[in-house]
Amino acid sequence: MRGKFITLEGMDGAGKSTHSPDIIKLLESKGVEVVATREPGGTALGEQLRTLLLNEPMHPETETLLMFAARREHIAKVIEPALTRGAWVLSDRFTDATYAYQSGGRGVLANKVIELETWVQVGLQPDLTLLFDVPVEISVARLASARTPDKFERESSEFFTKIRNAYLDRANKNPNRFCIINSNQALDDVKVEVENIISTL
């Protein structure tokens, strides 16, 4: 049986990465093989593109194209083979991040992202997307106390407001796939919410 594809999304500082180890543990306790991966990245080439994407200034459309180049490789080498053999894939970010950051944040036309998505994904979509949502002030405050920020993490509150709105818009337009998690509550409460959602899958 084909595996399930779960993606984690949210602004920088929304806390999504904190929860992947618990999700992996929960799935493995149910006998599921889990492939945990991330974007941009997830393959040797993708990780090299990640270094460029997170550090080098570039035109917003170049950024979009490189995100999808990394994604093409990721789907071909990691995601599809895993799903086909029945493993579940947990990806820290996927295409919703491109809609949020490159289209919502940088202003790349959504139609261009749609074209690349159609080309690169050939119908592949996540079965479930957990959107970790916090007010922008919280995410910006968390980032300020974090380690050395990358190119995206150095952006302004205005940028993150656009990101958050674009993510919420994606969630509203795809209610069957998205679950919005209120990430502005005690860590244990978020954990319980996440576990309940994963269990339904």
Taking the complex as a whole, how short is the minimal distance between the CB of residue 166 and ligand TYD, in angstroms? Answer: 11
181 in Cβ contact with 168 (< 8 Å)? no
Which residue's CB is nearer to ligand TYD, number 132 or number 196? 132
Identity of the amino acid at 114: I
Taking the complex as a whole, how short is the minimal distance between the CB of residue 86 and ligand TYD, in angstroms? Answer: 25
Q: Cα dihedral angle (14, 18, 20, 22), rounded to 10 degrees? A: -130
Is 97 a residue that touches ligand TYD (CB under 6 A)?
A: yes
Is 132 a residue that touches ligand TYD (CB under 6 A)?
A: no
In this structure, the number of other CB atoms found within 10 A of the CB of residue 182 comes to 11
Rg of the Cα atoms in the chain: 16
Structure tokens at 90: 């947990």
x/- map, 42-71, ligand TYD, by CB under 6 A: ------------x------------x----
Among 28, 108, 9, CA closest to 68 = 108
From 88, 101, 132, 159, residue interacting with ligand TYD (rule: CB under 6 A): 101
CA 28 vs CA 111, 152, 199: distances in Å: 38, 33, 12
3-state secondary structure of 192: helix
From 3, 15, 40, 46, residue interacting with ligand TYD (rule: CB under 6 A): 40
From 3, 12, 27, 82, residue interacting with ligand TYD (rule: CB under 6 A): 12
CA 169 vs CA 47, 74, 78, 91, 183: distances in Å: 29, 26, 29, 20, 17
Which residue's CB is nearer to ligand TYD, number 3 or number 13? 13
Is 74 a residue that touches ligand TYD (CB under 6 A)?
A: no
Taking the complex as a whole, how short is the minimal distance between the CB of residue 68 and ligand TYD, in angstroms? Answer: 8
Q: Enumerate residues 152-181 that contact ligand TYD by CB under 6 A.
A: 152
Binding residues (CB under 6 A) for ligand TYD: these are: 12, 17, 39-40, 54, 67, 92-93, 97-98, 101-102, 152
